[in-house]
Amino acid sequence: MKPVSSPFGQPLDRVDGPLKVTGRAQYAAEFEAAGLLYGSVVNSSIARGRIVSIDTRAAEAVPGVALVLTHQNRPPIASYDEPYEDDDAADGSPFRPLFDDRILYSGQPIALVVADNLELARHAGSLLRVEYEREPHRTDLLSELESMHKAPADLPPPRGDADSALARSPVRVDVQYTTPVEHHNPMEPHASTVHYQPDGSLEIHDKTQGVQNCMRYLEKVFGMKGRIRVLSPYVGGAFGSGLRPQYQLPLAVMAALKLKRSVRVTLKRQQMFTFGYRPRTVQRLSLGADANGQLQAITHQAIGQTSCFEDFTEHEVEWSGMLYQCPNVMLDYQLVPLDVYTPLDMRAPGATIGVFALECAMDELAYAAGVDPLALRLTNYAERNGNEDKPYSSKELRQCYEQGAERFGWSRRSMEPRSMRDGQQLIGWGLATGVWEAMQMPASAKACLGPDGRLVVSSATADIGTGTYTVMTQIAAAAMGLPMDRVEFRLGDSSLSQAPLEGGSFTVSSVGSAVQQACEALRQKFLDAAQQSPVSPFTGAKLEEVEFMYGRMRLKANPEHDVALEQIVAVSGALEAEVSVEPGEKRNEYATATHSAVFVEVRVDEALGTVRVSRVVSAVAAGRVVNPKTAGNQIAGGVVWGIGQALHEETMIDHKLGRYMNHNLSEYHVPVNADIGEIDAFFVEENDEIVNALGSKGVGEIGIVGVGAAVANAIFHATGKRVRDLPITMDKLL
């Protein structure tokens, strides 16, 4: 018997790919229910004040309208008056749709119209007559800076004395960057289909990154413990927008409970701009270095917007205390409450903005010191995480720089801005470093092998397009010595084993570890079962003395004694193991992070100011990669979004109305195929025995971090212009 090649580490196609491309994968708004009703949300047109009256008569008179739900007639809600949380809640009091007559932001849901079909519901919604009492609103971060307060964030204390080190430094950079609001725009808008069960319990298909988070939230809010099941087998992208339960979910539940009917509520694309987003920020960075570019001091101060009901925080400035070796560091983070919704985690929350500023400032420092930008990074390379004063569990960032520079051809770059051109086009080469945390959360998984010889592994995680189904199947198949097609992974069901939110790039390290250990426990069960017979060749054997391959178990020392797993199950009945896994103790002594080096080529038309990103090389160190294909897709997607951050994305608010104006995909610009050149994303070897048993750190977020800065730095190299306000649109270059 030749050794079976393990699926671990193979660039396999997605196991759910055929279901997705043939339309058989069902999303939250596609599940049918008998007598289903359709809800349409009506949103506030003012940014602050109160509702004086809502005249619902015309809407209710439309034949086929079942209900117009407002704050006046919503069902009583168990815990609406006491604070409740969800797993991704910010400090404060979460938004409660239809709570009372107060308007907290423009776009706030003020009514749900439920009808026999969606068109009727939308039409009836347009007939509502709402009278408001307006109050002056504040939505402009830049004009409200004086009302800032310290963010409730656990920042590392100041290190050394940054101010005096700055004053002594012969080379200094003191710069300010501003970044706009960005909205998550996954292909699938938010939706909930609530199936009202005959016993009054609810089965809900929701677009979410955390079925158990939504279940617990609804159980608490509606006082329905044990009577709610949330399902989300497929998610059409989320990027953080599904980390918290969004307002369509409690609204759909309210309507279903009031009508005792099944109800679906879907949000329109425009309504995707009426909840969380990446916050607008102002960041000030001061870097001080000696004449060779060796850092002496870093100060990084960020100000972000938040709502008046929650203090949204993200890790925005911490990166400046860990990415480079520096003895004097001061970090500060402030928030300005505005009459807007609370921001929300969006792919690599905090790092996307904070590392943008740090890595642009590092480029400015390279030019101030007259040092090559890559050489500057190597001069300041950090072996330890300065914030935690711990060594890294692994850090192959040097390899990222080296291999990335080699593939990109960095050594052929001339330092001088505007020194490389191709006819009318100025060519610029820029680089930046990326970094993200390698976290692990408690998670559980169950593995069960039945008489058909098939292994079913399950955990209540999600696949938001990232490849969870595929990589968990690979981990389980490798652990049980089964071919991929004999393994099925189940997720997206709150009744499965406990799993954390699918986010933060910690799904492989958390759920993957649980899957691997559940299979490990199942192997022991097979050995125990095989030893039941007194004449078993396995009598007395320990788990490490047997191996599992081709769906068979055998003694390593005596390989002809092998038995098919189905044969064991035929006697013992289905075997099953469920485990809960906590992050390993040995992580505590180390800092854990993923890193990347991003190299970008831009071509700027000198006459028109148009920018094209013609080439990107992204070299990533993320530990052991379970599937280079799905992981590579994650990095490429992050690169595309980083290009969007640098050049396109900006949600514009009309401060007179306090409302987002470009709330659609024709005016909210995201990169399209024609905007994207060559992307070379690859992983460097990184062995890590500490981070978890898989040695995998996770790759969801690292792909975007640093890309925006690398593009901005390339534009400076091409044009000699520093644009410190994102996005870098052509008007800023002319």
Q: What residues make contact with ligand MOS under the rule CB under 6 A? A: 209, 238-240, 243, 345-347, 349, 503-504
Least Å from the CB of residue 247 to ligand MOS: 18
Q: With respect to ligand MOS, which residue has the nearer C-beta, 373 or 504?
A: 504
At residue 541, φ and ψ (nearest 5 deg) are -75, 145
Least Å from the CB of residue 504 to ligand MOS: 4
Least Å from the CB of residue 311 to ligand MOS: 18
CA distance 716 to 429: 9
Judge whether 38 and 259 are in contact, CB under 8 Å: no
Q: Are strands 443-449 and 575-581 parallel, antiparallel or unpaired?
A: antiparallel
Residue 701 annotated among the catalytic residues of the structure: yes
Least Å from the CB of residue 315 to ligand MOS: 11
Q: With respect to ligand MOS, which residue has the nearer C-beta, 494 or 507?
A: 507
Q: Which residue is nearest to ligand MOS (CB)?
A: 503
Grouping H, G, I as helix, E, B as strand and the rest as coil, residue 111 is strand
Q: Are strands 310-311 and 129-134 parallel, antiparallel or unpaired?
A: unpaired
Crossing angle between the packed helical segments 248-259 and 211-222, to the nearest 10 degrees? 50
Q: Are strands 263-266 and 575-581 parallel, antiparallel or unpaired?
A: unpaired
Distances 681 to 315, 348, 634, 711 between C-alpha atoms, Å = 25, 17, 9, 16
CB under 8 A, 24+ apart: contacts of 452-455: 452/566, 453/486, 453/551, 453/564, 453/565, 453/566, 453/569, 454/486, 454/487, 454/488, 455/480, 455/482, 455/486, 455/487, 455/488, 455/519, 455/522
Least Å from the CB of residue 695 to ligand MOS: 21
CA distance 504 to 438: 8
CA distance 238 to 240: 5
Least Å from the CB of residue 548 to ligand MOS: 34
Question: What DSSP designation does 730 have?
Answer: G
Q: How deeply is 368 buried, as exposed, middle or buried, from its count of CB atoms within 10 A (0-12, 13-18, 19+)? A: middle
Least Å from the CB of residue 488 to ligand MOS: 25
CA distance 89 to 651: 23
Q: With respect to ligand MOS, which residue has the nearer C-beta, 250 or 698?
A: 698
Least Å from the CB of residue 244 to ligand MOS: 11
Judge whether 95 and 306 are in contact, CB under 8 Å: no
Q: With respect to ligand MOS, which residue has the nearer C-beta, 125 or 708?
A: 708
Judge whether 216 and 159 are in contact, CB under 8 Å: no
Question: Which position among 188, 364, 649, 701 bears the catalytic label?
Answer: 701
Judge whether 712 and 424 are in contact, CB under 8 Å: no
Q: Are strands 109-115 and 653-654 parallel, antiparallel or unpaired?
A: unpaired
Q: With respect to ligand MOS, which residue has the nearer C-beta, 108 or 232?
A: 232
User: E strands, 520-651, where?
Assistant: 546-549, 552-555, 562-564, 575-581, 593-605, 611-621
Q: With respect to ligand MOS, which residue has the nearer C-beta, 347 or 595?
A: 347
Q: With respect to ligand MOS, which residue has the nearer C-beta, 277 or 489?
A: 277
Q: With respect to ligand MOS, which residue has the nearer C-beta, 242 or 551?
A: 242
Q: With respect to ligand MOS, which residue has the nearer C-beta, 74 or 315?
A: 315
Q: Cβ neighbours of residue 589 under 8 Å, at least 6 residues apart?
A: 390, 391
CA distance 686 to 688: 6
CB under 8 A, 24+ apart: contacts of 365-371: 365/171, 365/173, 365/287, 365/289, 365/293, 365/295, 366/293, 367/716, 368/171, 368/172, 368/173, 368/289, 369/171, 369/289, 369/291, 369/292, 369/293, 370/415, 371/292, 371/293
Least Å from the CB of residue 265 to ligand MOS: 22
Least Å from the CB of residue 460 to ligand MOS: 16
Q: With respect to ligand MOS, which residue has the nearer C-beta, 137 or 184?
A: 184
Active site residues per annotation: 701
